[in-house]
Structure 1
Amino acid sequence: MHIHDVIIIGGGPCGLAMGIELAKSGLDYLILEKGNLTESIRRYPRRMKFFSTAENIEIGGIPFAISEVKANRNEALQYYRKVAGYYHLNFKLFVDVEKTEKQADGTFLVYGKGGEIFQSKKVVLATGYFDVPRMLNVPGEDLPHVSHYYDEPFKYSYTNVVLVGGSNSSVEAALELYRHDAHVTIVHKEADFRTKVKYWLVPDVKNRVKEGKIHTRFNSITRAIEPGRMQIENLETGESEWINADFVFLLVGYLPDEHLLFRCGITLDPVTKVPSYNTDTFETNVDGLYLCGTVMAGVFTEKIFIENGRDHAAAIADHITGREIRKVKDLIDRI
C-alpha cells in the first residue's frame, strides 16, 4: 500500500487550503472527500450569500474576483473548483471515511465506509460541521415533510411552512419563502431573532413581521410534529398550541461529527464536545493527527469560519514539515 505523507479528510475550503499548503511544501498528500469538492457549500440554499466578504474566503493566494462585495453560493462553488484545478490538487471523491487507526510503526490507516483503505504518515481532519444537524429529539422529527436543510422556495409556494430557529438560515429562508407566496411562521425559543443575524436582513424581516406577512412564535419550543401540523409550547405561559405545517424546517444549527472524532481516538470534552488539540499546532491528543477548520469548534460553531479556519492550514504545514522549529531556532540565533 502506498504511504502518503499526509491524508486530508474533507474537501471543503479548509481542506483545500490544507492541500495547497502541503503541495507548496512538496509533500505527498491526498484529499479524501465524502461528496464532491466543497460538498457542504453545494448543499447550501441555492440563493445564499456569504456573510464574509470575498477576500476573506479566498484560499491559496488566488483572488476571488466578483462584481459584488459578498459572494453567493454558485460563485463560491466555481471559485473553489478553479483554485483546486489551478493547484492540481490530489483528491479522491466520494470516499466517506469511517475512522483512522494509528499503527505500531506510527503511520495511520484510514478506512472508508466502502471498504477502501489508505495509509499515511500524518492525517488532517477538515470535515467541518454541516453533516450533523442539531436534533430536537421530538416526536415526528423524522417525518418526510421535515428537514434540517433548506434548499429553494419554489416547492413550497402556497403552503404552510414552519421554520424553527432564529438565526441567519431561518431568517433568510423565511424572507425567500414569503416572497414566493408561502405562508411562513418562525418558531424560536428566544424573545427575538439572534443578534448574529446578517445586519442587512434584520430590518427586512422585522418589517415583514410587523406587517403580518411573516408570523412568529417567540419564546416557544417544538413539542411534536405530525403530518400537516406541529405542536409548540410557549415558555413564558406554558400554554401549547397546534399550528398548520405542511413543511417544517428545523434550522437550529449543526455540529462536528463527534462520533468520527471519537473513532479516530480524539478526546472530546463531554459537555462542549470541543476536541483535545494544541492551539498552536492544531495537533490532537493523537500524535500526527491534526484538526483544521470548524471541525475543532465543538458546540461553538459560530466561532470558526472559513476566514479564520483557512489559516490553520499554514500552521499545520509548518509543524509537519518542521518549519515551526526552524523559525524558533532562527529567532534564537538572531537574538
Structure 2
Amino acid sequence: MVYDVVIVGAGPCGLAMGVEAAKYGLTHLILEKGSLTESLRKYPRKMRFFSTVDNISIGGLPFTIADFKANRDEALQYYRKVAGYYQLNFQLFTTVDLVEKQPDGLFHVVTKSGNSFIARKVVLATGYFDLPRKLNIPGEELPHVSHYYDEAFKYSFTDVVLVGGANSVVEAALELYRTDARVTIVHRGDSFRKTVKYWLIPDVLNRIKEGRINVRFNSEVTEIGKGLVRIKNLETNEPETLPADFTFLLTGYLPDEHLLARCGVAMDPVTKVPFRDAETFETNVPGLYLCGTVMAGIFTEKVFIENGREHAAAIADHIVGKPIRKVKELIDRI
C-alpha cells in the first residue's frame, strides 16, 4: 500500500498530525517505537502539566476534567480516546531507522526490523524525550543512576541525589522529601531555572531553608560511584563527596539528530536546529516535514505540546494544497 502520509512518532504532536490527516481523508500510518504517547507514559506518575487542558487538547475534542490542569494519567487517557475517536492507524513498538526518498518521488520508511512502508509524504514527530543529555562522567551508566524519575515511594529512607535545576528536579525533590527520602540537589547555576513552575518555588525554597532538602548550587558532578556522588564547587574548585543510594541526572533531553541526518535533513552544526520552512515545516527534502519538538535542536524548551500541536494543521494544509493556517513558531526567535 502507498500511504498518503506516514507519521513517525505517536506523541501528542504525532497524534495531532494523524488527526489532521484523517480530517482531510488522507490514508495514513503512525509508526511509534514504543507505546501510544510513550514519552508521556514515562513521565513521573504524579506529574501535573504546566499548561491548561485547553492548551494541550488536540483534534477539537474537549479535555474535560475537574481541574484545569491535567495530571499524567488523565493526559494518557485523553490522548488514547482522541486516537480512538478519529480511528487513527498505528503500528506501535516499531522503530524507524531510515527514511529514503526514491527516484519516483515516493518515500520508503525503513524500520530496524527490516520492514518498509511506502508513502507520498512523511512527517517526523519524534519529539525529544528518548535521548537524555549525557554528562559523560565516570559512573553515569551504573544501575542505580537514571535520567528518568518515576515515583517517590521506592526511594523512601534512602539518600537520593538529583542533578539539574529545572521543573523535573524541583518536583522530584519535593515528592521525595515528603516520602522520607534524604534529598540533595546539585545544580551548576546559582539558583533554580526561571522556567520552574511558579507555585513550586516557595515550597522548595522553604524546605531548603528548613534543612529538609539539601542543595549545592554552583556545583557539578565529577564522578558517580556505589553509594556516593563526587562533586566540585565551580567557584572554589573544592571537592565534596555526597552519600547517594540513587542518583537522577535530570539534565534534559535532545531530539535524535542521527535519525534526522539519516533521513537527509540538513541541520545547523552547532544548534542542531534542522532546516525547515517557517510556514509549512517542510525540510530540505521535499515532502518530508517536521512536527513538534523534533525541530527544536538543543532548544527543546522553545517547542512543546502547546505550540507543537499547531504544526500539524499547517503541514496538512500544505500536503493537500489548501491555504496554510499560520502558526506562531517560537523557535524562530532563537
- TM-score interval w.r.t. the shorter chain? over 0.9
Q: Which residue of 1 aligns with 2:176?
A: 177
Q: Secondary structure at the match of 1:319?
A: helix
Pairing 1:141-152 to 2, within 5 Å after superposition: 141-152=140-151
CA deviations on 1:165-192 (whole Å, 9 max, x unpaired) are 0100000000000000000000000001
Q: Which residue of 2 aligns with 1:10?
A: 9
Residues 326, 84 of structure 1: CA spacing in aligned structure 2 closer, same or farther, 3 A cutoff? closer
Q: Which residue of 1 aligns with 2:331?
A: none
Q: Secondary structure at the match of 1:175?
A: helix
Q: Which residue of 1 aligns with 2:249?
A: 250
- Residues 279 and 324, structure 2, Cα contact 8 Å, conserved in 1: no
What is the CA–CA distance in structure 2 between the aligned matches of 1:66 and 1:27, rounded to whole Å? 31
CA deviations on 1:216-259 (whole Å, 9 max, x unpaired) are 00000010101100110100101111111110000000000011
Q: Which residue of 2 aligns with 1:263?
A: 262
Paired positions, count: 326
What is the CA–CA distance in structure 2 between the aligned matches of 1:190 and 1:104, rounded to whole Å? 51
TM-score normalized by the length of structure 1 = 0.96
Amino acid in the other structure paired with 1:135? K
Moved more, 107-116 or 205-214: 107-116
Amino acid in the other structure paired with 1:229? L
Q: Which residue of 1 aligns with 2:312?
A: 313
What is the CA–CA distance in structure 2 between the aligned matches of 1:202 and 1:29, rounded to whole Å? 44
Structure 1 runs not aligned, ≥5 long: 328-335
- Residues 314 and 325, structure 2, Cα contact 8 Å, conserved in 1: no
Amino acid in the other structure paired with 1:300? F
Shift of 1:325: 7.5
What is the CA–CA distance in structure 1 between the aligned matches of 2:160 and 2:146, rounded to whole Å? 11
Shift of 1:15: 0.4
Q: Which residue of 1 aligns with 2:89?
A: 90
CA deviations on 1:57-77 (whole Å, 9 max, x unpaired) are 000000000101100000000
Q: Secondary structure at the match of 2:279?
A: coil
Shift of 1:91: 1.1
Q: Which residue of 2 aligns with 1:199?
A: 198
Pairing 1:29-178 to 2, within 5 Å after superposition: 29-178=28-177
Q: Which residue of 1 aligns with 2:332?
A: none
Amino acid in the other structure paired with 1:271? V
Q: Is structure 2 residue 212 aligned with structure 1 residue 220? A: no
Q: Which residue of 2 aligns with 1:331?
A: none
Amino acid in the other structure paired with 1:261? L
What is the CA–CA distance in structure 2 between the aligned matches of 1:266 and 1:311, rounded to whole Å? 21
What is the CA–CA distance in structure 2 between the aligned matches of 1:182 and 1:146, rounded to whole Å? 16
Residues 326, 180 of structure 1: CA spacing in aligned structure 2 closer, same or farther, 3 A cutoff? closer
CA deviations on 1:46-101 (whole Å, 9 max, x unpaired) are 00000000000000000000101100000000000001000111111111111101
Residues 262, 318 of structure 1: CA spacing in aligned structure 2 closer, same or farther, 3 A cutoff? same
Residues 255, 162 of structure 1: CA spacing in aligned structure 2 closer, same or farther, 3 A cutoff? same
Amino acid in the other structure paired with 2:297? G
Q: Secondary structure at the match of 2:74?
A: helix
Q: Which residue of 1 aligns with 2:20?
A: 21
Off by >6 Å, runs of 4+ in structure 1: none
Moved more, 77-86 or 112-121: 112-121
Q: Secondary structure at the match of 2:94?
A: coil
Structure 2 runs not aligned, ≥5 long: 327-334
What is the CA–CA distance in structure 2 between the aligned matches of 1:173 and 1:22, rounded to whole Å? 38
- Residues 132 and 253, structure 2, Cα contact 8 Å, conserved in 1: yes
What is the CA–CA distance in structure 2 between the aligned matches of 1:190 and 1:197, rounded to whole Å? 13
What is the CA–CA distance in structure 2 between the aligned matches of 1:231 and 1:302, rounded to whole Å? 29
- Residues 314 and 324, structure 2, Cα contact 8 Å, conserved in 1: no
CA deviations on 1:190-233 (whole Å, 9 max, x unpaired) are 00111100001000000000000000000000101011001101
- Residues 317 and 325, structure 2, Cα contact 8 Å, conserved in 1: no
Residues 156, 325 of structure 1: CA spacing in aligned structure 2 closer, same or farther, 3 A cutoff? closer
What is the CA–CA distance in structure 1 between the aligned matches of 2:232 and 2:323, rounded to whole Å? 54
TM-score normalized by the length of structure 2 = 0.96
Residues 205, 264 of structure 1: CA spacing in aligned structure 2 closer, same or farther, 3 A cutoff? same
Q: Which residue of 1 aligns with 2:330?
A: none
Give me the identity figure in percent.
70
What is the CA–CA distance in structure 1 between the aligned matches of 2:220 and 2:41, rounded to whole Å? 30
> How large is the RMSD of aligned CA atoms in angstroms?
1.1
Q: Secondary structure at the match of 1:31?
A: strand
What is the CA–CA distance in structure 2 between the aligned matches of 1:25 and 1:249, rounded to whole Å? 44
Shift of 1:324: 2.6
What is the CA–CA distance in structure 2 between the aligned matches of 1:119 and 1:324, rounded to whole Å? 26
